[in-house]
Amino acid sequence: MTHDLFEPLTLPNGQILPNRIAKAAMEENMAATGQLPGRHLDTLYRTWALGGAGLLITGNVMVHDAAMTGPAGVVLDERSPLDPFRDWAIAAHSGGGRVWMQINHPGRQVKANMPGVAWGPSTNRVNTGRTSALFAEAHAMTAEHIADTVRRFVTTAVLAQETGFDGVEVHAAHGYLLSQFLSPLTNLRTDDWGGSLHNRSRLLLDIVRGIRASVRPDFAVAVKLNSADFQRGGFDSGDAAQVISWLAPLGVDLVELSGGSYESPAMTGNADEATDRRSARTAAREAYFLELATQLVDDSPLPLMVTGGVKRLPVAQEVIDSGVAVVGMATALAYRPDLPSRWRSGAADDVTLPDIRIRDRAVASAASMSRVRHQLRRLGRGATPSPRTSALLAFGADQIREILSRRRYRRWLEHRSVENQSSSLPD
C-alpha cells in the first residue's frame, strides 16, 4: 500500500506521528555549562519544530557522564538538573510534532585526549588508519560495567519521560557501544555477551527490556540499528533482521536503519570503497540504506525508518513507497529546517551541497560533520544557514572549539567526582 508523506502514522503503542518525516539525530555538540541543554539548543529545536517534521529525534544524549562522544555533549543522569530538559522538550514540541530523545554510550569510540573512560566489549582500538592514534585504548567491560550500563540507559529513559519527551531512541548503530557489542569484528568476548549473535545482542535486549518495564505504555521506545557495518565480516542485514525479530516482543515501536561506524563512515556517504555494498543507483537517489532496508521491510514485525542522505521530495516519497514507515532526514534539515513545510505546500525545494574533496575518508567524514554542526550553531543563534561554508574551515574551527569545550568538560567532570566522593563520606 502506498502512503503519503504527510499521512499520520500510528505506532504499535498507540502513539501517533503527525506525518512520516522525522528529523533524525545529529550530534550537535552544543551543550551549555554543566553538559545541559541551553538556549541555543532550545532555539535550534524550536526552529525545527516549526519546520513541519512529524517527529524530532534529538542528537545523542549521554547516559554516562564519563563516556562522551564529544566534550560539548549533553548528559542526562540522576544528578542532572531537570528544568533545562523540560525547557528543551517544550521548545521542541512548539510545532505540534512528537519529540524523542536519542540516548547513547560511545563505548570505545572516544578520543584519546578525552577524560573519563573508554569501554568496549573487548580491548581493540578504533582503526581509522593513519588517524587511529587519536582514539583511546579500549578497556574490556566487566559484568559489573555491563549491569551499570543497563541501569544508566534505563535511568536516562525514565528521566526523559519525566521531563516531557514522548519517547527515547536507543542508539545501537554507527559503531557506538551497543553496535560494538553487536558486531563480531569488535566483540571478541567468549562469555555470555560474546560469540553468537544472541549473546552479542544481549546488552541491547536487556536495555530495551529494562526501559519498557520502567516507562508508561504510551511512551515510545525506538532503536537505531545498523542495517550493515559496511566492513567485511561485520554485522550485516541478516543479523539486523534477526535482531529486529528479537526486539519486536519487547515492546519496541520503531527501528531506524542506518549503517557504518567511524571505521567505515557510511552514515555520511563515505563508506570504504572496498567494502561499500551500496549500488550506484542507491547512491544516486541519496537514500544510502534504502536498498538494504527493502530486504528487511517485507518481513519486519516492526515499523522501519530509514535515514541517510535524503534531500529531495521524490527520494523521500520513494522511501515511503518501498514500505518503510518513516523517512529520516538530517543534513538537509540543517541547511533547510523548514523543508517538510515547503514540500507540504507544494514547493519542489531540495538541498544541494558542495562535494567534500578530501581523500582520507575518516577526515572527510569529520569535515562533513563539522560543516553540518556549523549550520546547527547558526540556527541555534537564530541566524540562517550558510550552505557555501568551507568544510575545511568548519573542521578547523571545530578543533578549536573542541579544545575549549574539553577543558570545560574536564573541570565539570572533576567537580562531579569530588562531589561524589564527598557525598559518600560517613557523617
pLDDT in tens, 156-197: 999 999 999 999 999 999 889 999 999 999 999 999 999 999
Q: How many domains does the chain have?
A: 1
Res 96 pLDDT > 60: yes
- Distance from C-alpha of 357 to C-alpha of 109, rounded to nearest angstrom: 25
pLDDT value of residue 227: 76
The more confidently predicted of residues 328 and 419 is 328
Q: Which residues of 200-239 are buried (b: 16+ CB within 10 A; e: fewer)?
A: bbbbbebbbbbbbeebeeebbbbbbbbbbbbbeebbbbeb
Assess if residue 264 is contained within a domain: yes
Give the other-Cβ count within 10 Å of 268's Cβ.
22
Assess if residue 427 is contained within a domain: no
The more confidently predicted of residues 193 and 421 is 193
> Where is 98: in which H helix or E strand?
strand 98-104
Tell me the pLDDT of the chain averaged across its residues: 89
Q: Structural domain of residue 191, as residue ranges? A: 9-421
pLDDT value of residue 281: 41
CATH number, domain at 386? 3.20.20.70
Res 244 pLDDT > 80: yes
The more confidently predicted of residues 231 and 403 is 403
Q: Which residues of 48-81 are buried (b: 16+ CB within 10 A; e: fewer)?
A: bbebbbbbbbbbbbbbbbbbbbbbbbbbbbeebe
pLDDT value of residue 404: 97
pLDDT value of residue 258: 82
pLDDT range class, residue 261, cuts 50, 70, 90 = low
pTM of the prediction?
0.91
What are 346's three cell numbers?
Answer: 507544494
pLDDT value of residue 268: 44
Assess if residue 3 is contained within a domain: no
pLDDT value of residue 232: 66
- Distance from C-alpha of 33 to C-alpha of 31, rounded to nearest angstrom: 7
What are 301's three cell numbers?
Answer: 514485525
Res 233 pLDDT > 70: no
Q: Is 90:103 a contact under the CB 8 Å cutoff?
A: no
Angstrom distances, CA of residue 282 to CA of 161, 321, 324: 37, 15, 15
Assess if residue 356 is contained within a domain: yes
Assess if residue 152 is contained within a domain: yes
pLDDT value of residue 289: 65
pLDDT range class, residue 60, cuts 50, 70, 90 = very high
pLDDT value of residue 353: 78
Per-residue pLDDT averaged across 83-88, rounded? 98
- Report angle CA 6, 308, 23 to the nearest 5 degrees: 45
- Report angle CA 92, 97, 99 to the nearest 5 degrees: 50
Q: Could you tell me where the beta strands, DSSP code E, fall in 195-325?
A: 220-228, 254-259, 304-307
Q: Is 313:7 a contact under the CB 8 Å cutoff?
A: no
Q: How much of the chain, in percent, has pLDDT values that exceed 70? A: 89
DSSP string, 167-214: EEEEEE-TTSHHHHHH-TTT----STTSSSHHHHHHHHHHHHHHHHHH
Give the other-Cβ count within 10 Å of 349's Cβ.
15
Assess if residue 263 is contained within a domain: yes
pLDDT value of residue 36: 98
What are 243's three cell numbers?
Answer: 535482531
- Distance from C-alpha of 18 to C-alpha of 96, rounded to nearest angstrom: 8
Non-local CB neighbours of 83 within 8 Å, separated by 6+ positions: none
pLDDT range class, residue 58, cuts 50, 70, 90 = very high
Half-sphere exposure of 101 (CA within 13 A, CB side): 29
- Distance from C-alpha of 84 to C-alpha of 295, rounded to nearest angstrom: 41
Task: Say if strands 167-172 and 304-307 run parallel, antiparallel, or are unpaired.
Answer: unpaired
pLDDT range class, residue 272, cuts 50, 70, 90 = very low
Res 309 pLDDT > 90: no
In tens, the pLDDT along 348-385 reads 788 887 777 777 776 787 888 899 999 999 999 999 99
The more confidently predicted of residues 392 and 145 is 145
Assess if residue 316 is contained within a domain: yes
pLDDT range class, residue 102, cuts 50, 70, 90 = very high
pLDDT range class, residue 229, cuts 50, 70, 90 = low
Angstrom distances, CA of residue 365 to CA of 128, 267, 355: 11, 9, 12
Res 279 pLDDT > 50: no
